[in-house]
Amino acid sequence: MQGIKIGEKQSKYPIIQGGMGVGVSLHNLAGTVSREGGIGVISTADIGYKEEDFEQNPLKANLRAIGKEINKAREIAGRDKILAVNIMVALNNYKEIVKECVKNKIDLIISGAGIPKELPEYIEGSDTKIAPIVSSLRCCKLIVKHWIKKYNHVPDMIVIEGPEAGGHLGFKKEEVITEERPKLEDITREVVEYVNEVEKEYNKSIPVIVAGGIWDKNDIEKYLELGASGVQMATRFVATYECDAEEEFKNAYINAKKEDVQIISSPVGLPGRAIYNSFIKATELEKCKISKCYNCIKTCNVKDTPYCITKALINAVKGNMENALIFCGSNVDKIKEIVSVHDLMQELVC
């Protein structure tokens, strides 16, 4: 297996660890994955939740935490390794978050949960590379053509996220719950064919990365054979010693059964794959009292939302599972034990 080239750096293996927020993939997990030959990804979603002033000034806390987490991850990984961040377009302070990551010389920004139309503008003049997350050929074409026309910027990478992914999904709920839902293999073939044309026209290599339901070496090899340059995996990296979440969060993955995984309607207006627990069930019956708005997501309406997604995700990562939203991928029921990142990486490539 050949690694993924980003700028002047190249990973040893074609594996990207997906960004998971709030706080599930911070410096410890991301830094270790990069050190072990993959590309580690720090999630920027409410990244400053541990900062003392987070409750008073979430934006200030988040911006400060970005530098801390990137620097700590670099100490683990080494300066020669590729380190990435995931930034959701839906964040209210998207531009400020991007610019702070660029200021801290992040190698790669992976951006989804919306269309990152202005992203090339925010990284202009830096060495930071950018990769949009797409869910279809149509979405891919829209972004590529817009970036080239407006900014003369060809994407440095394309991440395809299929309907089996965890967390917020780039599909309508009815598309995901049907047996006729889009197949990742078909989307991959279409996007790879299109990207090959763009590569030839602009004489630039654009790695295509496939995400959503990737489980083992066989899956990785299947998508490499379809023309992808690598895969992105998130769920499997939760059940590692190095994952930044508390043990209770990891145990929720280990104990999850197939029937526990459902597509829910997120408070921010998007479908999401999560473990259906007592908290989600309760919020379907009665709206939670929201005492504070963290001004996190553009599409959240505090008056109508059944619960605060920021608070529910922070509860999850801290291990308060009685009041938690637990996002997960479709294969979470296959996880049976906690392993090291080193052992997991070796299992995936050997």
Higher pLDDT among residues 1 and 240, named by residue: 240
For residue 294, name the pLDDT band (cuts at 50, 70, 90).
Answer: confident
Least confident of 79-83, 117-121, 283-287, 324-328: 283-287
pLDDT tens, 49-77?
Answer: 999 999 999 999 999 999 999 999 999 99
Residue 290 reports pLDDT greater than 80: no
pLDDT tens, 78-113?
Answer: 999 999 999 999 888 999 999 999 999 999 999 998
SS (H, E, C) the chain: CCCCEECCEECCCCEEECCCCCCCCCHHHHHHHHHCCCEEEEECCCCCCCCCCCCCCHHHHHHHHHHHHHHHHHHHHCCCCCEEEEEECCECCHHHHHHHHHHCCCCEEEEECCCCCCHHHHCCCCCCEEEEEECCHHHHHHHHHHHHHHHCCCCCCEEEECCCCCEECCCCHHHHHCCCCCCHHHHHHHHHHHHHHHHHHHCCCCCEEEECCCCCHHHHHHHHHCCCCEEEECHHHHCECCCCCCHHHHHHHHHCCHHHEEEEECCCCCEEEEECCHHHHHHHHCCCCCCCCCCCECCCCCCCCCCCHHHHHHHHHHCCHHHCCCECCCCHHHCCCCECHHHHHHHHHC
8 A C-beta contact, residue 229 and residue 199: no
pLDDT tens, 228-256?
Answer: 999 999 999 999 999 999 999 999 999 99
Identify the pLDDT of residue 178: 65
pLDDT tens, 153-196?
Answer: 999 999 999 988 888 787 776 777 666 778 999 999 999 999 99
Identify the pLDDT of residue 293: 74
Higher pLDDT among residues 227 and 167, named by residue: 227
Mean pLDDT of all residues in the chain?
93
8 A C-beta contact, residue 297 and residue 330: no
In 10 A of CB 5, how many CB atoms?
Answer: 15
Identify the pLDDT of residue 172: 75
For residue 269, name the pLDDT band (cuts at 50, 70, 90).
Answer: confident
Identify the pLDDT of residue 177: 67
- Nearest residue to 69 (alpha-carbon basis) of 26, 39, 19: 26
Query: What are the φ and ψ backbone dihedral angles of 328, each rounded to 5 degrees?
Result: -160, 165
